[in-house]
Amino acid sequence: MDFWQQYRAIDSRDARFDGQFVTAVATTRIYCRPSCPARTPKPANVRFYQTSAAAHQAGYRACKRCLPEAVPGTPDWNLRSDAAARAMRLISDGEVDRTGVTGLAARLGYSSRQLNRILHQELGAGPLALARATRAQTARSLLTATGLKFSDIAFAAGFSSIRSFNDTVQEVFALTPSDLRGRAKAAGDNTPGRPAGTTPAGSTLALTLPLRAPYDPGIFEFLRLRAVDGVEHATDGVYERLLQLPGGQGRFSARLTTAPSGVPALAVTVTVEKLPDLPVLLSRIRRLFDLDADPQAVDGVLGADPLLADRVRLLPGIRLPGATDPHEILIRALIGQQISVKAARGTLHRLAALGTASTLVPQPGASTLHRLFPTPAQLADGGAELLTGPARRRESILRVSAALAEGRLHLGVEDSVADLKRKLLPLPGIGPWTVGYVALRVLGAPDIQLDNDAALRTGWAALPGQTGPVHPRQLSASMERFSPWRSYATMHLWRLAASHPATRTPATPATPPVKAATP
């Protein structure tokens, strides 16, 4: 967007752009979200910044009226695959807090000096400032939504000391932590009685994560159909699971709700062994549920096409299911190749017995969660006896698990689609479908084409006006009409395929072998 496009967005107070950029006013030294109800400033007094960190760097503080930190994040970090976007995904995942700028730069393949220059040029702030802004956002959420002590909030948000926590909150929000919590109580932004406590097994908190409306709840059904017993549990509207975090184990449950302001949100109850893991867990939940997507941009393109117009009207705001662990998604994708969802889930149930038992005290009603998903090392050591199916596929799964366990193969949110292709395609048993599926789930890549996907072909055949089976090459060419949102179009077609099993396309001698039948 150029200056005047952004200015028109703030002049119309368009909430669609909240979180995608901030508006700084030179005369007040305040920055706001685009939908701030304050009077629109004169164009000569306006500066636009892509991140709040850049506004901080330029000497602005957050607006106390619109709270620009209390909005979904920008979808740009999934849309873009450049160094700045990859760095932002890692910063959100806590990489700077764990390994510093040097570690962040190493993960991206740059020197610290090169990375600083890139981020300043692209985003207007360096990695330390960007990480500091992320800590401030986490601190604000904890101050306004929980009863945690300030010292616990400081370390949970990633600050190295209480003093740096106090200084940052005061500088960013022009309020002390006590004032920020008091204003939230007076405005009714937090709900009394939300669970917040500490036990020998961990700390449990309840938070509300913002999202962009509309939000289709079908992602809960997607996760329910693939839930692994003991590791995760899902119903039509609630999903919960155990997972390994950098400092210890974690658990969360999530459901759609309505925030005090009346807008949809995701209510989460989280438990972490180590409080500094909290920002990492929240970041991974946001990615899993695709909370930072721009549904109106997606639906605007897909809904304008006659083939998907009815689906978009029926299911506005469809989301991409993300991942809490990239290596887990790769293993799931390998197991799901050429078999049904039900068969893949049965294999995963057996493999779950290899996982580490949970040390977290179960939540009431969540006693079915008792172990973590197996690590690559556990799968490499014990998976041979539990895997079934063709020998080549079993061998491929075991080899990939060993490569992940030994560090010869590593996947992460810092990768691009091109990186995934370079790393995965040379491995036996991995083809373009697997790479595309991993890119869709791990990176949230919005424009993935899953060639030879049987469910995709079934969904396409069920669209209005389609007369029969479609050849994979024809489908690939036809899907280009939905670019740059082919991943979201895929979700629509998968949903349609699930409701039209009778239209499943059989393989024929003229049809290339289907790489995967399990999305």
Residues belonging to the active site: 32, 453
Tokens of 190: 């937090």
> What is the DSSP annotation of 216-260?
-THHHHHHHHTPPTTTEEE-SSEEEEEEE-SSSEEEEEEEEEE-T
Q: Distance between CA 61 and CA 29 in Å, rounded? A: 7
Looking at residue 317, the DSSP 8-state letter turns out to be T
Q: CA-CA-CA-CA torsion for 197, 198, 202, 205, nearest 10 degrees?
A: 20
> Hey, which residues does 357 pair with through a beta bridge?
371
Specify whether the CB–CB gap between 513 and 337 falls below 8 A.
Answer: no
Looking at residue 512, the DSSP 8-state letter turns out to be P
Looking at residue 192, the DSSP 8-state letter turns out to be T
Q: Distance between CA 13 and CA 40 in Å, rounded? A: 9
Q: Distance between CA 123 and CA 21 in Å, rounded? A: 11
Specify whether the CB–CB gap between 474 and 435 falls below 8 A.
Answer: no
Specify whether the CB–CB gap between 31 and 23 falls below 8 A.
Answer: yes
Q: Distance between CA 519 and CA 504 in Å, rounded? A: 14
Containing 170, the helix (H) or strand (E) segment is: helix 162-173
* Number of continuous H segments (helices) and E segments (strands) in the chain: 23, 10
What are the Cα distances from residue 337, in Å, to 194, 208, 394, 454?
Answer: 43, 36, 11, 11
Reference 319, options 287, 353, 347, 276; nearest CA is 287
Q: Distance between CA 307 and CA 462 in Å, rounded? A: 10
